[in-house]
Each structure stands twice: as structure tokens, then as C-alpha cells.
Chains A and B, each alone.
Chain A
Amino acid sequence: MEVPALWIEALKEVGNIGAGHAATSLSHLLQTRIEMTVPRVRLVPLVRLQEALGQLDATKVALYLKVMGEAPGKAMFILSIPSAQLIARTLLCKGELPDIFTDQMAQSALQEVGNIMVSSFVIALTELSGCMLQPSIPALGIDMIGAMVDSVLLEEGHLDDSILMIDTILSGQGDMKEMEGTFLYIPAEGSIEKLLGVFGI
């Protein structure tokens, strides 16, 4: 599917508003000023997914939640291991970086952060499109990125056409600089048209 340039503009707006909400909530939660920028927004067709994800067996932290409502879909927020460790350490007020594979407190903290991040983007989608969207509670995964994304994609036993991918960079004080995160929205059939239809595109 050829993606119209106007769609990308509209999606960029979603990305920017979502990042704004996320940065504000995260700053409150972590008690430190967090800024968030959106260097890139893409609508990735499935055939290009592999190159968009990069190395498929790279270990990442992923938060996954389902979005119910008028334009249903599935949403994920993906963080690198070092970024996830930094965020968990700040939230738990720890001196050392936690082992996120085993530390349940750290995992629970990340789940909360992921919840805020994903909800921020979902709220941005809601605000701009007027479609009512309701996110579920998140599930946390720490594993190979390809494995986590493929199982989310295939969950209903079919493949969706394309994925909305919003790259974000979070930056805070000190070593919290330049943390990369990616927001993925996998719209159910017809949802992307519904979301963008409101813009008159």
C-alpha cells in the first residue's frame, strides 16, 4: 500500500502529541525532567517490518497492550535494555542498575512506565481522531524483539497489513540522556482508515 504524504503528516502529529503527554507523565513519575522527541514516524508494511525492526534477535523490553474501542488494535512500546535499566533504577530510587531479567520490582516499575507511555500515545490518537479508544492493562516481555513482535502480530491467527511505528528519543538529566524507545500501533482491519478519516484524508 502506498502511504499518502498527508497520512504521514497526520501520524507525525499523533507522535508529537503522544510524546508530549508521555514526557509530562514520565517527568512526574520519575521526579526528573524528561524531554521527548519524535525523530521519525512511519507506516510500515509487513513486508518491510524486518528491516524496520533491525536485528530480530536483539534483546529488548516490550510492553504490550490491547486497544479496544472504535478503532481497535494492539499497541507496543519497545525499549533497549540499558534504557529500561536506567528508567527502573530512577523509579525505584536505587543506586545500582537493577537486573531486569530477575528483579520483579524493576519489572513492575517498567510495566507502569510502559503503561504510561502507551496510554499517552493512545490518548493522542483519541484526541486527534475523535475515536474512543480504551487500552487494556499491559503485559511485559524481555526477549528477542522479533519473537515478541511476531507473536503479537499473529495472535489472532492472521496478519495485519501495516504497522504504525513512532520512534522516540527520551532524554533527561545525567546518564538518562538519549534513551531510545519505539511505539508500535498495529491497527485491526479498517482501523487506520477510521483514525485518519477524521482528518478528512
Chain B
Amino acid sequence: MSKTIMVGMGDYKVGKAPDRLMTAGLGSCIGVCIYDLFSHIGGMAHIMLPNSRESKATGNPAKYADTCLEMLLEDLLKMGAVKSRLKAKMAGGAQMFSFGGKPPILKIGERNAEAVCQELAKAGIPLVAADTGGTFGRTINFDIQTGDLHVRTINYGEKVI
């Protein structure tokens, strides 16, 4: 029996095929999946901010790209994933609101996406697919078995990356 594991805001979860991982309503946040297709192990993180070092009140380390990916990677390896086989996909990082057509000074969605790319590169994990940016929300569902990431939106349909 396959079940869907829900990943909350600023949280991460790991699982084994045939389970699926899901996170709902990504705006500026990023949903990252890291997976090992051969051993059928995968994890998903719902990242809210780029960097734990820039924040005054740190709190939950799973909110930040740097600290969260570190923890997720550690858990995946503990479960038996092999680091050289790991791949990553991500979605999110939108800019939902703009005032009078002016983009805000801090493009937090864009910065989140950049931070995730950087952290993945640092860990030597190839980012094989991404669907980021835009002005709309996304709900993502990851199939650990196949490595397919389903990205659903309200006005822009659904796609698989």
C-alpha cells in the first residue's frame, strides 16, 4: 500500500517507495525533493527562507535552505541512500503580490531558489529539474518510485517534471 506523506511549512520528511511525498500551497517557499532511484528512497523539504545565518530568531532549522538540506541529506544517507546516486528537483519560489506593477526590493522567492541551488551544488547533488518563479502558487507531489514530480497550479494547469 502506498501512502502520501504530507510535508508541512518549514519541515521535511523522508520516505521509501511506493510512498509519495507532498507539500501544499507553495508561494515564495521552495519544495525540494532529493532522491535515490536505485534504493527507492526520497525526501522532501518545504523551505521558507534562504539562510539561517541572516535571521535573528532562528528557531526551527528546517525553515532555512542551508540547515534543512543538511538535515535532509543526513536522514537520507541514514536510511541507506547512496550519495553519488542522489538527484534533486525543486518547485516554488513565486512572487505572489506586486504593488502597482512594481516588484518588491527583496525578491524572496528568487533568493530562495538561488539558495537551494547553491546548497545542492555545495553538497554535489545534481539539480535535474526545476519549476520556479512566476506569480502563482504550487502544490507538489513526488513519486519516490519513479522520481516524477507533479506540480499543480490553479490557473496554469498541472505538469510533471
- List the interface of chain A (C-beta within 8 A of B): 47, 49-50, 55-57, 59, 64, 66, 101, 136-137, 139, 141-152, 154-159, 161
Q: Which residues of B contact A55 (CB under 8 A)?
A: 24
**Secondary structure type dominating chain A contacts:** mixed
B157 contacts the other chain (CB 8 A): no
Instruction: State which of A49, A145, A151 has its C-beta within 8 Å of the C-beta of B97.
Output: A151
B5 contacts the other chain (CB 8 A): no
B residues contacting the other copy or chain, number (CB 8 A): 37
Asked if A154 meets B138 with Cβ closer than 8 Å, knowing A148-B96, A149-B27, the reply is no
Q: Which residues of B contact A136 (CB under 8 A)?
A: 99
Residues of B19-64 contacting chain A, CB below 8 A: 24-29, 48-50, 54-57, 59-60, 63
**Secondary structure type dominating chain B contacts:** loop
Asked if A144 meets B24 with Cβ closer than 8 Å, knowing A57-B137, A137-B99, A152-B96, the reply is yes
B2 contacts the other chain (CB 8 A): no
Compute the total of residue contacts between A and B using a CB distance below 8 Å.
108
A147 to B134, CA, bound (A): 12
In the A-B complex, the 5 residue pairs with the closest CB atoms: A146-B25, A147-B137, A56-B25, A147-B27, A144-B137
**How many Å from the CB of B24 to the closest CB on chain A?**
4
Q: Taking CB as reference atom, which chain B residue is nearest A59? A: B154
Q: Which residues of A contact B136 (CB under 8 A)?
A: 143, 147
Q: Which residues of A contact B139 (CB under 8 A)?
A: 56-57, 144
B24 and A156: CB pair below 8 A?
no
Q: Which residues of A contact B106 (CB under 8 A)?
A: 155-157
